[in-house]
Chains A and B, each alone.
Chain A
Amino acid sequence: MISLETFFSIPILVVSVAAAVHATAYIHGEARRHLVRFWGFFPATVASMLAVVHVGGKLQFLLAWEAMGLASAGLVAFESKEKSVKKATWIYLLACHAGACALMLTGVFQMRPDAWIAAFAFAVVGFGLKIGFPPFHAWLPEAHPAAPAPASAIMSGAMIPLGFFGLLKFFPIARLSSFDAQVYGWTLLALGAIGAVGGILFSLPQSNLKRLLAFSSVENMGVVSMGLGLGAVLYARGDFTPPALLAIAGALVHILNHAFLKGALFLGAGSVLRQTGTLDQDRLGGLLRRMPFTGSLFTVNAFALAGLPPLNGFMGELAIYVSAFLAINTGDPVLASAGFLVALALALTGGLAATAYAKSIGCAFLGESRSREAADAAETPKRMYFAQIFLSLFSLAMIPGSVYFIHKFTGGFKTEIFIMTAMVGFTFVAVVVSLLLLRRFICPRGKMKPRLPVWDCGYDAPTSRMAYTATAFTQPLVDLFRPILKSRRHVQPFKGDPAAPSGAAIATETDDFALGGLWRPLFSRAARLFQRVHLLQSGSLHLYILIILIAVLALLVAALVS
């Protein structure tokens, strides 16, 4: 079996190659003036990610980790003229430094064997800030839309899973005691379940395509975390090693699948932005006709990432599902409740993810063009969609690849299920092809009618303004989960003559719960608190010397007393 280091290098290398090719065309026009900045930070980011994976020792790891944060912050800040980008960079830097700080504390506590819980808690915070555990995910939906698409692709596909690399490297499940493994497992499981369901729930109402994808990364990392957590919980019991390995294998496979799929989706979103100038799904539409390659690739990848068979996104989830059902079947109440929690969270996540991706495909790429920009869009330069094809080939290879990986990782436990799943998927595709041939035979091209206007209750000239919008598509579910999502509606009522009303508008906006509800109040309160300490920073040298003197004396006394 390959080592942890090699495993986590795969997404870094693959996604960064595709992202680099895409970036050569993505940065165009005015932005080319800052080309040097991009090509400075991009290799630095990739190199530091590889360093994180390959260096030995805690200090080196910390330095590489910090370098990775700084280099990628340079990428996020690429279009730093815009105010939103500045804000996003700031939030991202804060998250990186807070994470590094927590990791330093982890290192300190790891020196004492009896402080395992504290070390683990700080590791969850530190690595969780990179992975996007709730509520530490707040930087993801800010930084991903702000960063250039190739940077988002490597950050979402390859960088955030490195948090799991850190967790697995410094807290290997196999070396935990039974109690520690329980704590470890339930923490990851609970955070994963909240992250998966919460992440995809918040991605639903987003009209910005990249913001939707960013929240979907929170969801997918939640799925991975649930797999690892379930594995640890099962492992802690001792007797259930094969199902535990199955859950962990599912989580690891999902990391790879997510990397290739999400990388391709972010690149696709970047192509859309380059050709239309907008990412607002309510202003796109009909792009599949204008950009057939980009659109088809986005559709296939989004279908796969919705976790639907026969494509690769389903494989990892299936392994976690099977493991969850095996946990239910053990009869042990603790394991059974863990299994039910995972199965329920995965089921809800699957449904919501399908809705979110149906929306992004349907509203951005299908139907009528909703704006002039979308109607005038043209296909991208070839190398942009070649980059996506490159990643999609890896995704395709991951269908048998997932089966093989799970087989190797679990030592052949329930392999027949996964082989059968791949075969059923193949049958499914074969049936699709034969039905399409049948359809063509029954209804040859000559018998096809010319395209007709759609049915709009007899109205013969429907326009794009009558089409269902992305916001409307998700409105029922968003309304249902209103207590959590807290979407805000800006309604501008009809004005003027009721016979010829004009100027009515409605807009909805869903802000991140963690950022607005937790971090912003927390930080503003902290700022107010530190205002008082501000007295000390008077600028008077005498005061500073006094403080140093007191500190040295206190240390001396402390040393003498102990």
Chain B
Amino acid sequence: MNILSVILAALLAPLFIGIVNQTKAFFGGRRGPGLFRLYRDLFKLVRKSCPRPQPSTWIFDISQSVSLASVIAAAAVFPWAGFGLGSTMVPAVLFFYILAAGRFFTVIGALDAGNAFEGMGASREMQFSTLVEPVVFVVLGFLVILNGDVSLSSILSGVSVETWRESIVALILVFVAFYAVFLLENCRVPFDDPETHLELTMIHEAMLLDVGGVDLAFALYAAALKFMLLAAFLVAMFIPQSGNAWVHLASVFGGVAFISLVTGVVESVTARVRFFKTPQMLLGALLMASLAVFFLACF
């Protein structure tokens, strides 16, 4: 059941990116590339040769593999069906630090190409991920107070209907704060635009400018998997525990599909903010999360 759900998650990941893009196409009045575009892209990229930039070293060669491996390792311990591979013993901190380890390698891989655009992307990625970290940990603190333990599966054991009724304000605040984290970590509008074609305005894409072939396939797949993983985290935080693993699994994936849809709508109706505004938005998210903790503790 555990392994099955991880494999299912791994297979479904590119689909959700398709949902986002299809939603955006609908809002833009286009026919869109179809739900399965990313699968085809991945197959195409795997068959291509791997170009490597001149000054690069083994760091560049392994960076995308490490980055993907970190997301896979995080997905493997995620409690997809209410409990993961030993996720009752995995501290929630580890989940986010493993993702950070993968990001570290993407960043130094980008710096290894030795070019201004990739350096710029790497610099921005580190800036934003540094600032988002406090928000993540306040949200984790909130979940610990709510659920009473530090392991991943217990902080994701969901919110009962009773708790929803009693502290809906705090829950909504945390949802918004973590949704901001989700958008930033996945480099979506309003923090980053995955479709921009200008190197100067890129963050995540800029780090991949010189990545090609199977490495690019790894990078795109890692991005899709991370998108699904954090969306699932957001969903699992809030849905009530049903007790049935299959129902839980279905509701997590349904929730992820819904979050993808919402993200598509958000991306269609909002513009990207200026880089200098991002720290302010993150500070806002931090304040919301702290306020939620305050409400939960005091009311």
Q: Does A309 contact B (CB under 8 A)?
A: yes
Task: Find chain B residues with CB under 8 A from A439 CB.
Answer: 65, 214-215, 218
A355 near B126 with CB under 8 A, answer yes
B54 near A474 with CB under 8 A, answer no
Q: Does A452 contact B (CB under 8 A)?
A: yes
User: What count of chain A residues pass the 8 Å CB interface test?
Assistant: 82
Task: Find chain A residues with CB under 8 A from B131 CB.
Answer: 351, 480
| Interface positions of A from 450 to 469, Cβ below 8 Å from B | 451-457, 462, 464, 466-469
| Interface positions of A from 117 to 138, Cβ below 8 Å from B | none
B126 near A354 with CB under 8 A, answer yes
Q: Does A508 contact B (CB under 8 A)?
A: no
Task: Find chain B residues with CB under 8 A from A348 CB.
Answer: 130, 133-134
A314 near B97 with CB under 8 A, answer yes
Q: Does B144 contact A (CB under 8 A)?
A: yes
Task: Find chain A residues with CB under 8 A from B116 CB.
Answer: 456, 466-468
- Which of A343, A358, A436, A453 has a CB less than 8 Å from the CB of B108? A358
1/0 per residue B86-109: CB within 8 Å of A? 100111011001101101100110
Given contacts A432-B69, A452-B53, contact A321 B59 (CB under 8 A): no
Task: Find chain A residues with CB under 8 A from B150 CB.
Answer: 322, 325-326, 329, 417
A455 near B117 with CB under 8 A, answer yes
Residue of B nearest to A361 (CB): B108
User: What count of chain B residues pass the 8 Å CB interface test?
Assistant: 81
Task: Find chain A residues with CB under 8 A from B144 CB.
Answer: 325, 328-329
Given contacts A351-B133, A421-B90, contact A456 B117 (CB under 8 A): yes
Query: Chain A interface: which of B22-30, B44-52, B251-259?
Result: B44-52
Residue of B nearest to A351 (CB): B130
Given contacts A328-B144, A449-B52, contact A362 B279 (CB under 8 A): no
B49 near A308 with CB under 8 A, answer no
Task: Find chain A residues with CB under 8 A from B62 CB.
Answer: 432, 436
- Which of B59, B97, B126, B297 has a CB less than 8 Å from the CB of A288? B59
Q: Does B273 contact A (CB under 8 A)?
A: no
Residue of A nearest to B115 (CB): A454
Q: Does B119 contact A (CB under 8 A)?
A: yes
The CA of A358 and the CA of B207, in the complex, are separated in Å by 14
Task: Find chain A residues with CB under 8 A from B73 CB.
Answer: 424, 427-428, 431
Query: Chain B interface: which of A19-27, A363-371, A548-556?
Result: A363-371
Task: Find chain B residues with CB under 8 A from A464 CB.
Answer: 114
B94 near A318 with CB under 8 A, answer yes
Q: Does B77 contact A (CB under 8 A)?
A: yes
In the assembled complex, how far is the CB of residue A466 from the closest CB belonging to chain B, in whole angstroms?
5
In the assembled complex, how far is the CB of residue B225 from the closest CB belonging to chain A, in whole angstroms?
12
Q: Does B113 contact A (CB under 8 A)?
A: yes
| Interface positions of B from 121 to 153, Cβ below 8 Å from A | 122-124, 126-127, 129-134, 136-138, 140-141, 144-145, 148-151
Query: Chain B interface: which of A40-48, A156-164, A440-448, A519-527?
Result: A440-448
Residue of B nearest to A311 (CB): B101
| Interface positions of A from 342 to 387, Cβ below 8 Å from B | 343-344, 346-348, 350-352, 354-355, 358, 361-363, 366-368
B215 near A328 with CB under 8 A, answer no
Residue of B nearest to A466 (CB): B116
In the assembled complex, how far is the CB of residue A60 from the closest CB belonging to chain B, in whole angstroms?
42
The CA of A286 and the CA of B60, in the complex, are separated in Å by 12
Given contacts A329-B148, A347-B133, A456-B117, contact A367 B112 (CB under 8 A): yes
In the assembled complex, how far is the CB of residue B35 from the closest CB belonging to chain A, in whole angstroms?
25
Given contacts A443-B49, A449-B51, contact A358 B137 (CB under 8 A): no
1/0 per residue B53-83: CB within 8 Å of A? 1111111101001101110110011000000
Residue of B nearest to A457 (CB): B199
In the assembled complex, how far is the CB of residue A21 from the closest CB belonging to chain B, in whole angstroms?
26
The CA of A299 and the CA of B109, in the complex, are separated in Å by 12
A344 near B138 with CB under 8 A, answer yes
A468 near B119 with CB under 8 A, answer yes
The CA of A309 and the CA of B69, in the complex, are separated in Å by 12
Q: Does B190 contact A (CB under 8 A)?
A: no
Given contacts A329-B144, A358-B122, A439-B215, contact A432 B65 (CB under 8 A): yes
Task: Find chain A residues with CB under 8 A from B287 CB.
Answer: none
Q: Does A306 contact B (CB under 8 A)?
A: yes
Task: Find chain A residues with CB under 8 A from B100 CB.
Answer: 308, 350-351, 354
In the assembled complex, how far is the CB of residue B180 from the closest CB belonging to chain A, in whole angstroms?
15
Task: Find chain A residues with CB under 8 A from B117 CB.
Answer: 455-457
Task: Find chain A residues with CB under 8 A from B115 CB.
Answer: 367, 454-456, 462, 466-468
B137 near A424 with CB under 8 A, answer no
In the assembled complex, how far is the CB of residue A379 from the closest CB belonging to chain B, in whole angstroms?
14
A448 near B52 with CB under 8 A, answer yes
Q: Does A487 contact B (CB under 8 A)?
A: no
Residue of A nearest to B97 (CB): A309
Given contacts A424-B77, A456-B116, contact A361 B213 (CB under 8 A): no
B55 near A329 with CB under 8 A, answer no
B54 near A451 with CB under 8 A, answer yes
A343 near B140 with CB under 8 A, answer yes
Task: Find chain A residues with CB under 8 A from B275 CB.
Answer: 476
In the assembled complex, how far is the CB of residue B65 from the closest CB belonging to chain A, in whole angstroms?
4
- B interface with A by C-beta (< 8 Å): 46, 49-60, 62, 65-66, 68-70, 72-73, 76-77, 86, 89-91, 93-94, 97-98, 100-101, 103-104, 107-108, 110-120, 122-124, 126-127, 129-134, 136-138, 140-141, 144-145, 148-151, 199, 209-210, 213-215, 218, 275, 279, 293, 297
| Leading 3 A-B pairs by shortest Cβ distance | A468-B119, A362-B111, A367-B114
- A interface with B by C-beta (< 8 Å): 285-286, 288-289, 295-296, 299, 303, 306-310, 314, 318, 321-322, 325-326, 328-329, 331, 333, 336, 339-340, 343-344, 346-348, 350-352, 354-355, 358, 361-363, 366-368, 416-417, 419-421, 423-424, 427-428, 431-432, 435-436, 439, 442-443, 447-449, 451-457, 462, 464, 466-469, 472-477, 480
Supply 24 A–B pairs (Cβ within 8 Å), ascending by A: A289-B57, A296-B58, A299-B108, A308-B101, A309-B97, A321-B91, A322-B93, A329-B144, A329-B149, A358-B107, A366-B112, A366-B114, A367-B119, A428-B98, A448-B52, A451-B54, A453-B53, A454-B113, A454-B114, A462-B114, A468-B116, A468-B120, A475-B123, A480-B279
